[in-house]
Structure 1
Amino acid sequence: MIMPDVPTTMKAWRLDRLGGRLSYDEGPVPDVRPGSVLVKVEASALMTYMKAYIEGGLPSYHAPDGCFTPGGNCVGIVGKVGKDVWHLRPGQRVLLSSLFQATENVPDPARILIGVTSFGGVSETMQADWPNGTLAEYALLPASAVVPADGWDDVAPMRLAAATRFVVPYGGFVRGRLAAGETVIVNGATGAYGSAAVLLALAMGAGRVVAAGRNADKLAALAERGGRAVVPIALSGDIKADAEALRTAAEGSADLAFDMIGGAQDPNSTLAALHALRSEGRLVLMGSLMVDLPVPYLQVMIRSIKLIGNFMHRPGALRNVLALARAGHLDLSAIKPKPFPLADLLPAMEAAATAGSFEQIVMCP
């Protein structure tokens, strides 16, 4: 792929603070610096909660101090590389998942979500060094945060962006040690990442996937897409009844429960999934439960249940997602892109907030 000459100016969205002024401005294309790559953005996948984020409605998120360009995941073409970048080259297609982890050899490296949030302490310093995201024509990114997508030049960028939807549950399944043939419960299966998790579990070799959620119609559509290995269970909110339904669907009990529940105000579905696990089963927590989880201490201890908190994924996980797709195990086309011009961010945010489980709003400069 040939990279055209990089211009000197570009259009980008700029936000002065969460809940503040959002504007679409023209400004200079950033210069590369050591350890960085300048990427021409082809498709930026919009977060479903971008509108709430921009409006300051998510108090747990910490944006950079001062004006910045929001936006996380993207597909693009390398335009320039800085010093100390040896493997990436201009003209190469790359993907960015917004997770960026410090590369220093320390026991607990700080992390940020580029263009989204930091997490206190050293991560705020990282964010100050890398404040800008991908809602722009060009993005300056840390070289270690992007993944080459060699061999995918014939796939439309907006379709390739679906890989960034799958990489989040991939991180959880790896942490949960999903093994071929195992039975998996996906709690929150009708959400954007939960639906992706159902299909990804099958791609990674799960023998049966119990798709759990509150919307029976969406669950039925998910089961139709996933095939006979997917068993939909509409939850009632009653822990005991739901746990029994999950155990029946799992033909006794599940090996792994993957919790991707979004914004829940009660822990009932998570507890039902926990109660449906076999002895030595694993529960991976990746959702956004808004209240504390009351752990049944004695049951977890006696039955040797493992609780695993997991945030995002390990560096390089996108490579493995692409490998699953290349091998034919994972169908990226299951996620349908809905493109918007970069200038139309406001209607795109509205669309993202109401998009279906298998839709992805994509900004295309």
Structure 2
Amino acid sequence: MKAWQLERLGGALSLNDIPIPEPRAGGVVVRIEASSLMSYLKAYVEGKLPIYNAPQRTFVPGGNGVGVVHSVGRGIWHLKPGQRVVLSSHFVAQENVQDPAQILIGVTANGPIAQQVQADWGDGTLAEYALFPASAVTPAADLSQLDATQLAVSMRHIVPYGGLLRGRLAAGETLIVSGATGAYGTAAVIVALAMGAGRIIAVGRNEAALEAIAAVGHGRVVPIQSTGDVEADVAKIRAAADGGAHMAFDMVGNARDPNMTLAALRSLARGGRLVLMGTMTAPLPIPYTEVMLNGWEIIGQFMYPRDAYRRLLDLIRSGQLDMNAIRPRTYPLSALPEAMNAATQTGNFECIVMRHEG
């Protein structure tokens, strides 16, 4: 098969002919049809993201994907050759322990035990075939209306879906999405609409992007342009939320100050929840007394639970989740360098997808 291999972060990336992986216990070999590209893959490959820890060997990078089961290893009972599936790079060790290690397959692992997991499951989806642990493979039956390229875009939805599930978003509630003009922030708005949010306050800095996001909500999305002034922004958000929101979802990207996040927190109604899934480079100063008096919850969330992809696919099957809002831009597997460059500049309503021809 053809596979992109990276010798190390910052090392050579090359398209090679290597053997199709053999199935092994607990594993599933999938013929990849399409895979979604991370916006930061170019910086990752070039070794410019020091918080990421790649496998200590030449490996196949790549995140989530879509394909057809090719073969299965021992101890696999439900997945069968020929089934259409989605692959999740997020894998959690299956032992029944308090704090199981977790990794992003083909991307990173943090901590010594996670690095042992990564040694077993090091290769991602930028190849014609991939060997994945069965618990990271979800059947995608009854979705014939979506081709592999369209289904690969679900990677953009699954990450914020994990945060919305963790925050217990309920139908009819008012939600603040902070950082709504980013790729995952926009997807959070789309997923929250599918989950039945009654009103979504989309907060960001780009006015034109906010108006485009509001258009997908058909009256249920209210755009609020952030000024960076916490008090002024809180006043605007609270007015839009009729006094306060039930939940806030924070997906700010590489924020150098905490102001947008603090505005979201302080716009919550009593008993409201704030879920943190963004990337902030500054400390978050928590207003202790305000949090205590208002009974606010502050919840950190990394990725999504194992059953999230199955539940997301149910939202697609039922017609609740609009899979046309985010548009795929496709590249053949051989054009990975060009696609990585494009991914650094895609808009929040676009997703780079690699089409595999193997």
State the TM bucket, normalised to the shorter chain.
over 0.9
Is residue 77 of structure 2 the alignment partner of residue 112 of structure 1? no
1:277 equivalenced with 2:268 (yes/no): yes
> Is the contact between residue 184 and residue 256 of structure 1 (CA under 8 Å) also seen in structure 2?
yes
Residue number among 77, 84, 100 corresponding to 2:91 in the alignment:
100
1:27 and 1:175 map into 2 onto residues whose CA distance is 40
Residue of structure 2 equivalent to 1:4: none
Shift of 1:141: 0.6
Of 39, 42, 58, 1:67 maps to 58
Percent of aligned positions that are identical: 57
Deviations 1:333-363 (A, max 9, x none): 2121111000101110111111111111001
Secondary structure of the 1:220 match is helix
Please give the secondary structure, in 2, of the residue aligned with 1:217: helix
Deviation at 1:97, TM superposition (A): 1.8
For residue 17 of structure 2, give the secondary structure of its aligned residue in structure 1: strand
| 2:296 alignment counterpart | 305
Match of 1:186 among 150, 174, 177: 177
Matched residue SS, 1:123: helix
1:238 aligns with 2:229: yes
Partner residue of 1:5?
A: none
Shift of 1:283: 0.3
- CA distance in structure 2 between the aligned counterparts of 1:309 and 1:245, rounded to whole angstroms: 25
Q: Does 1:87 align with 2:90?
A: no
| Contact 1:255–1:282 under 8 Å retained in 2 | yes
Q: 2:120 aligns with which of 121, 129, 134?
A: 129
SS of 2:43's equivalent?
A: helix
Secondary structure at the counterpart of residue 328 of structure 1: coil
SS in structure 1 at match of 2:60: coil
Contact 1:45 1:360 in 2 (8 A): yes
2:173 is aligned with what amino acid? E
Task: Show the counterpart of 1:197.
Answer: 188
1:52 aligns with 2:43: yes
The alpha carbon displacement at 1:323 in A equals: 0.6
Task: After superposition, give the CA deviation of every residue in 1:85-113 in whole Å (9 maximum; x if it has no partner).
Answer: 00000010000121001111111111000
Q: Matches of residues 311-350 of structure 1 in structure 2 within 5 Å?
A: 311-350=302-341
Does the 8 Å CA contact 1:214/1:234 hold for their aligned counterparts? yes
Task: State the SS of the aligned residue for 1:333.
Answer: coil
Q: Is the counterpart of residue 293 in structure 1 residue 293 in structure 2? A: no
Contact persistence 2:90–2:104 (CA under 8 A):
yes
Q: Which amino acid aligns with 1:63?
A: A
Counterpart in the other structure of 2:167: 176
Give the secondary-structure state (helix, strand or coil) at the position aligned to 2:62.
coil
Deviation at 1:155, TM superposition (A): 2.1
Q: Which residues in structure 2 correspond to 1:151-170 (within 5 Å)?
A: 151-170=142-161
Distance 2:48 2:288 in 1: 34
Q: Deviations over 1:269-326 (max 9, x none)?
A: 0001011011111000000111111111111111111000001110021111111111
* Structure 2 equivalent of residue 255 of structure 1: 246
Runs of 4+ in 1 over 4 A off after TM superposition: none
- Aligned to 1:28, what secondary structure does the other structure show? coil
- The answer to whether the Cα contact below 8 Å between 2:153 and 2:353 also exists between their aligned partners in 1 is no
Q: Is 1:16 matched up with 2:14?
A: no
Most deviating of 160-169 and 339-348: 160-169
The one-letter code of the counterpart of 2:206 is N
Q: Contact between 2:142 and 2:317, CA under 8 Å: does it hold in 1?
A: no
Q: Distance in 1 between matches of 2:23 and 2:123?
A: 13
Secondary structure of the corresponding residue to residue 60 of structure 1: coil
1:243 offset after TM fit, Å?
Answer: 1.1
Asked if 2 retains the 8 angstrom alpha-carbon contact of 1:39 and 1:79, the reply is: yes
Answer yes or no: is the 8 Å Cα contact 1:99–1:114 preserved in 2.
yes
User: Quick one: which of 17, 24, 29 aligns to 1:26?
Assistant: 17
Paired letter, 2:207? A
Letter paired with 1:292: P
Partner SS for 2:24: coil
Look up the equivalent residue of 1:349 and give its one-letter code: M
1:267–1:289: 8 Å Cα contact kept in structure 2? Answer: yes
Contact 2:143 2:317 (8 Å CA) reproduced: no
TM-score by length of 2: 0.98
| TM-score, normalised with respect to structure 1 | 0.96
Note the aligned Cα RMSD (angstroms).
0.8
Unaligned 5+ residue runs, structure 1?
A: 1-9
Aligned to 1:219: 210
Distance 1:271 1:206 in 2: 22
